Amino acid sequence: MLIRSKAPLRLGLAGGGTDVAPYSELYGGTILNATISMFAYATIEPRQDGKIVLNSIDKNENYEFQAADSLAIDGNLDLHKGIYNRVVKDFAKKPFSFKLSTYVDAPPGSGLGTSSTLVVAILGAFAEWLGLPLGEYDLAHLAFEIERVDLNMAGGKQDQYAATFGGVNFMEFFKEDKVIVNPLRIHDKYLDELAHNLILYHTETSRLSSRIIEQQSQNVMKKNIRTIEAMHKLKEQAIMMKEAILKGELDKIGEILDFGWQYKKHMASGITNPFIDEVYKTAIKHGATGGKISGAGGGGFMFFYCPGLTRSNVVEALKKFGGQTKRYEFTAKGLTTWTI
| 3-class SS shares of the chain: helix, strand, coil, % to 5 | 45, 25, 35
The C-alpha atoms of residue 208 and residue 230 are separated, in whole angstroms, by: 22
User: CA–CA separation, 197 vs 225, rounded Å?
Assistant: 35
Please name which of 109, 160, 116 lies closest in space to residue 134, comparing C-alpha atoms: 160
Q: What is the SS3 assignment for 74?
A: coil
Parallel/antiparallel/unpaired status of strands 51-56 and 98-104: parallel
Catalytic residue among 19, 58, 90, 159: 159
Cα separation, 214 vs 21, whole angstroms: 10
Q: How far apart are CA 309 and CA 230, in angstroms?
A: 32
Rounded-to-integer distance, Cα 206 and Cα 255, Å: 26
CA distance to 67, 80, 161, 272, per residue, from 296 (Å): 36, 23, 17, 10
Q: What is the residue-wise DSSP string for 97-152?
A: -EEEEEEESS-TTSSS-HHHHHHHHHHHHHHHHHT----HHHHHHHHHHIIIIIS-
Cβ-Cβ contacts under 8 Å for 80 (sequence gap 6 or more): 54, 56, 100, 102, 122
Does 159 participate in catalysis according to the annotation? Answer: yes
Catalytic positions: 159
